[in-house]
Structure 1
Amino acid sequence: MSNIDRLTLERRVRVAARALARHGLVQAWGHCSARIDGESFLVCASKPMGTIGRDEPGTVVRVNAPLPQGVLGEVRIHQQIYRLRPDVGGVCRIMPPHLVALSTLRVVPKPRHGVGAFNANCRFWDDPRLLRDDALAAQLADRLGDAPSLVMRANGAVTVGPSIELAAGFAWCLEDAARIETLVRSVASDASVEAACLTGGEIASRQVSSGAVFERLWEYLTAGDTEAKANEGGFPDPVWGTAS
């Protein structure tokens, strides 16, 4: 990777990290990364993501090597996902409140509205432990499979995408689906809760990224960030891997 490309990737990771914090998807904990190549990736600075400063560097991590000193232990989740998923270009480890609350009930938000369709194939990890050993992280990556997201019981979630921008976009969509799930369950009977979901055909019809859907979401997520650039180039059309 050239120095210019590395600087661009550093900036994209910083902007994504701050966007996740700005919208309450992470607090003191969480991290995000972007793939460099088949052997390495760049993870954000090991600090609360909302405090990552302009021009503050991340750390290059090898996929098949011990974590560098100072890198957070759960970054091994990123290692295992990049190892198993060559299609993944970005990973976000998030702790959004509605999603965490539902996860304690072993509930994964269902696709009940438009953006909820993008995580229709979300998986569930029924283990509240921190993932600080390679074997457990590998099991989680295997459980994720080809899905764009995985909810971890009482422990947040992981989202992935072909770029860091799309991984962050899926993170926002997942928490918005959890917000709608919480609202629906607060006002509906048990029978109507089960019925109030998009059908398979409706899910497919809403998993559409044309019309600058994710570009607009990225602009919303990064509004006010002086390092952000519109239309970053991380938005393939159509978005892959969201259908069951």
Structure 2
Amino acid sequence: MTVADQTASLARANRILVTEGVLDAFGHVSVRVTDDPDRFLLARNMAPASVTADDVMEFDLDGRSEDERRPYLERFIHSEIYRARPDVMAVVHSHSPSVIPFGVCDVELRPVFHMAGFLADGVRRFEIRDEVGEGSDLLVRNGALGAALARTLADAPVALMRGHGSVAVAGSLELAVYRAIYTEKNAAIQCQAQAMGTVEYLTVGEGRAAAATNAGQVARAWDLWSRAAAEGP
């Protein structure tokens, strides 16, 4: 895939994530450049719903760009995850509302339906206080904090960020978007199920099997979400 193709897909991913309620005025999504794994694409500092291909910037793994437009403060989330995880081709950072409680409460986010089977091996929790104490604004605004987040993420698909949001990663842009959307959906359903009574979660085996099946169906979801994003509210 060419950089131009990736840029167009990234602009679409921004609109999809807004339409599906994962991003609002904040949050961001990036994709690693296929032909140059030490570089990635990320929009300039702006609301995701307004991102077009012309708004996309290219960065190195230190979060630097030759483009002089204003970048996102938290571009280091992306740069350091790409540095630590060669398998990752896309990163979504969001503040999706149903996920936030699982970062601040002693309740584990676990898969309650097959579409979120990728959560079966567990998610990680990043505590920024461990890195900078109690006076931060909770933003990952430099490489050191990005590296700490990447260490916490380790080999997981999702990491929660206490009092902030989450990151979802995958080996393709489409799958990262899928994971971000279904992490939010699973969190909402899990909250509902816990209010009703004892929850029967997916087993690790069920989750892994479902995740393997669903990974082959992501194009179907991407097409649907693309159509909805293009049509708008």
**Coarse TM-score class (shorter-chain normalised):** 0.7 to 0.9
Give the letter aligned to residue 15 of structure 1.
R
The 3-state SS of whatever aligns with 2:111 is: coil
CA deviation after TM superposition for structure 1 residue 95, in Å: 1.2
Question: Where in structure 2 are the equivalents of 1:13-92 lying within 5 Å?
Answer: 13-36=10-33, 37-53=36-52, 55-64=53-62, 66=64, 69=68, 70-92=70-92
Kept in 2: contact 1:67–1:76 (CA 8 A): no
Q: How far does the alpha carbon of each residue in 1:1-44 deviate from its partner, in whole angstroms, 9 at most, with x for none?
A: xxx81211110100001101111101111111111122211102
Range that drifts further, 159-168 or 95-104: 95-104
CA deviation after TM superposition for structure 1 residue 76, in Å: 0.6
User: Partner of 1:218 in structure 2?
Assistant: 222
Question: Where in structure 2 are the equivalents of 1:203-242 lying within 5 Å?
Answer: 203-209=207-213, 212-226=216-230
Question: Where in structure 2 are the equivalents of 1:130-141 lying within 5 Å?
Answer: 130-141=139-150
User: Partner of 1:186 in structure 2?
Assistant: 195
2:171 paired residue among 144, 148, 162 = 162
Give the letter aligned to residue 78 of structure 1.
H
**CA spacing shift, 1:111–1:211, aligned 2, 3 Å:** closer
Task: Tell me, in whole angstroms, the C-alpha distance in 1 between the residues paired with 2:215 and 2:128.
Answer: 38
Where structure 1 has 5 or more consecutive residues not aligned to the other structure, the ranges are: 228-244
User: Partner of 2:125 in structure 1?
Assistant: 124
Percent pairwise identity:
28
**CA spacing shift, 1:60–1:51, aligned 2, 3 Å:** same
Relative to the length of structure 2, the TM-score reads: 0.86
Range that drifts further, 112-121 or 216-225: 216-225
Where structure 2 has 5 or more consecutive residues not aligned to the other structure, the ranges are: 130-137
CA deviation after TM superposition for structure 1 residue 182, in Å: 0.7
Task: Tell me, in whole angstroms, the C-alpha distance in 2 between the residues paired with 1:87 and 1:130.
Answer: 25
Kept in 2: contact 1:99–1:156 (CA 8 A): yes
Give the letter aligned to residue 80 of structure 2.
Q
The 3-state SS of whatever aligns with 1:223 is: helix
Q: How far does the alpha carbon of each residue in 1:121-149 deviate from its partner, in whole angstroms, 9 at most, with x for none?
A: 32111337111121111010011111111
Give the letter aligned to residue 123 of structure 2.
C
The 3-state SS of whatever aligns with 1:91 is: strand
RMSD: 2.1
Task: Tell me, in whole angstroms, the C-alpha distance in 2 between the residues paired with 1:211 and 1:62.
Answer: 28
CA deviation after TM superposition for structure 1 residue 48, in Å: 0.9
Task: Tell me, in whole angstroms, the C-alpha distance in 1 between the residues paired with 2:112 and 2:73.
Answer: 35
Task: Tell me, in whole angstroms, the C-alpha distance in 1 between the residues paired with 2:25 and 2:202.
Answer: 34
